Amino acid sequence: MTLATEVLAAAGHVGTGEKVVFFILAPLAVIGALGMVIARNAVHSALWLVLTMLSIGVFFIVQAGPFIGMVQIIVYTGAIMMLFLFVLMLVGRDATDSVIETLRGQKVAAVILGVGLAGLLGFGAWEATRGIVPVGLDGANAAGNVQGIAKLLFTKYVWVFEVTSALLITAAVGAMLLAHRERAEGEKVGQVAMMKERFRPGNYPGPKPGPGVFANSTSVATPAKLPDGSPAERSISPILPTRELTAAEIANKHTEGK
């Protein structure tokens, strides 16, 4: 057993370094958790959660769990949360997004249920750990932290591991099905229906003439001329003002052309 393992596996003793790390990172973890809940912007909320996850990963490493600590930092913080941030930034979220209650009183109900769940989990953890005397991690880390976790995971807890894997796969498939939107047959427009729609009275079946076609100017603000000499309103953008050439400008154009 190396010196680092002996320091990590020390039972019943909290060193000065561990105390310093706890008193520095514990407030940061709590602030990150509160910021995640309070932040109105989804990207800011995810960044606050990254701060909390990094603090928890350091706590695991200090508490003689280097494997789970590195997994917390690399997998959850470095992979999953970065994926969340990538999706949020790709979709786009504005800081001024308003939170509208679709159900009246849902915020109050959410706060009450959240406090009740936190109290229930805290009481359950206190009841489960009451009377337990910590014996340290010498036995668990005798063969190494990673080796000890692998042995327990694939022998004693292999059934729980497989069930958890199945639940994660089921959750991923369920999320894909919920996010997938398949159009009904009535919403799909075929080529025949589009052709009939174009040739209905009042529509323009042919392609729109480009700016300057059959006109005396190449300006995009000059409408095209139809065969009867009238301007084609569809030939210019509606946001551009229509510009009609005067007789003098037309004469100048013909003179320049000659």
The b/e string for 112-134 (b: 16+ C-beta within 10 A; e otherwise) is eeeeeeeeeeeeeeeeeeeeeee
Number of Cβ within a 10 Å radius of residue 25: 20
pLDDT at residue 83, rounded to an integer:
79
Cα pseudo-dihedral 97, 100, 106, 110, rounded to 10: 0
Residues of the chain with pLDDT > 90, as a percent, come to 9
Its pTM stands at 0.48
Q: Are 203 and 218 in contact (CB under 8 A)?
A: no
What is the tens place of the pLDDT at every residue in 25-35?
999 999 999 99
Distance, in Å, from the CA atom of 95 to the CA atom of 115, rounded to the nearest integer, reads 27
Distance, in Å, from the CA atom of 78 to the CA atom of 53, rounded to the nearest integer, reads 10
CA distances from 115 to 39, 110, 122 (A): 19, 9, 10
Name the band, by pLDDT with cuts 50, 70 and 90, for residue 11. Answer: very low
- 224 sits in which H/E element: strand 224-225
Range 201-207 contact pairs with CB under 8 angstroms and sequence separation of 24 or more: 204/234
Q: Which residue has the tokens 């750990």?
A: 129
Q: Please state which of the ranges 100-104, 121-125, 196-200 shows the lowest mean pLDDT.
A: 100-104
User: With helix as H, strand as E and coil as C, how does 128-184 read?
Assistant: HHCCCCCCCCCCCCCCCHHHHHHHHHCCCCHHHHHHHHHHHHHHHHHHHHHHCCCCC
pLDDT at residue 28, rounded to an integer:
92
Name the band, by pLDDT with cuts 50, 70 and 90, for residue 115. Answer: very high
Average pLDDT over residues 84-106: 65
Average pLDDT over residues 82-111: 70
Number of Cβ within a 10 Å radius of residue 231: 17
The CATH label, of 3.90.1150.10, 3.40.190.10, 1.20.120.1200, 1.10.10.10, for the domain at 16-95 is: 1.20.120.1200
Q: What is the chain's length?
A: 258
Residues whose CB is less than 8 angstroms from the CB of residue 232 and which lie 6 or more positions away in sequence, other chains included: 208, 209, 223, 224, 225, 226
pLDDT at residue 197, rounded to an integer:
79
Domain coordinates in residue numbering, the chain: 16-95, 143-178, 204-257
What is the tens place of the pLDDT at every residue in 44-76?
888 898 899 999 999 888 887 788 888 888 888
pLDDT at residue 217, rounded to an integer:
62
- Can you say whether the dihedral through the CA atoms of 23, 28, 29, 30 is positive or negative? positive
pLDDT at residue 134, rounded to an integer:
65
What is the tens place of the pLDDT at every residue in 161-217?
889 889 888 888 887 777 666 666 666 777 787 778 777 877 766 666 555 555 456
Q: Which residue has the tokens 């005396």?
A: 216
pLDDT at residue 196, rounded to an integer:
80
The b/e string for 202-212 (b: 16+ C-beta within 10 A; e otherwise) is eeeeeeebebb
Distance, in Å, from the CA atom of 142 to the CA atom of 109, rounded to the nearest integer, reads 48
